[in-house]
Amino acid sequence: MKILMVCLGNICRSPLAHGIMEHLVKENKLDWEIDSAGTGNWHIGQGPDRRSTREAKNNGIDISSQVCRQFRVSDFDEFDLILVMDRNNKADVLRLASTDADRAKVKMLLGDREVPDPYHDDTLFAPVFNMVMEGCKKIISAYQ
Ligand code: 4NP
């Protein structure tokens, strides 16, 4: 199983989702590959936002070596599941889909709930971490 985590910037939410899912995959001894990307291009080549890096580190997860990249159309072929954080991410990714098979791969990590964008609110990083952890655990139970 190959899973791509997607948010807007690929510096706050999807790097957390990437790191948390890799952590859980290792814990559960699963043969899954995880990556992340952003729909936007502003932060390409940068590491995660330091507030995400700190929140992950406080929870025993190291995301400091991740490098931001932008979502690309070939990701539809590369990945089995494309997990987005909010409805805007979903619309942006779906706009690039060309087949029903592409579209079927795109789901919100939390189902019908959004992971809020914490970029302009420092207090959101801790709840975002917890929401993403909860979502990743549900994905593991559903697909392992
Ligand atoms: P993310 O947060 O989508 O969770 O990575 C954001 C990061 C950067 C920006 C927006 C959201 N930005 O506008 O630069």
Beta carbons within 10 angstroms of residue 33's beta carbon: 14
Q: What is the CA radius of gyration of the chain?
A: 14
Pairing of strands 2-7, 33-38: parallel
In this prediction the pTM is: 0.98
**What pLDDT, in 10s, does the model give residues 35-64?**
999 999 999 999 999 999 999 999 999 999
Catalytically annotated residue among 49, 75, 86, 117 = 117
What's the confidence (pLDDT) of residue 47?
98
Q: How many distinct structural domains can be found in the chain?
A: 1
Q: Strands, DSSP E only, in the chain?
A: 2-7, 33-38, 81-84, 106-108
Q: Say which of 12, 13, 68, 86 is annotated catalytic.
A: 13
Asked about 7 being catalytic, the answer comes back as yes
pLDDT at 84: 99
In angstroms, the CA 138 to CA 51 distance is 25
Question: How far is Cα 126 from Cα 122, in angstroms, rounded to an integer?
Answer: 9
CATH value at residue 51:
3.40.50.2300
**What would the mean pLDDT of 70-81 be, rounded to a whole number?**
98
Beta strands 106-108; 81-84: pairing state = parallel
Give the integer Cα–Cα distance in Å for 61 and 3. 18
The reported pLDDT for the residue numbered 41 is 98
Domain that holds residue 41: 2-143
Q: Which of 5, 7, 8, 51 to mutate to test the pocket of ligand 1 (most atoms within 8 A of CB)?
A: 8
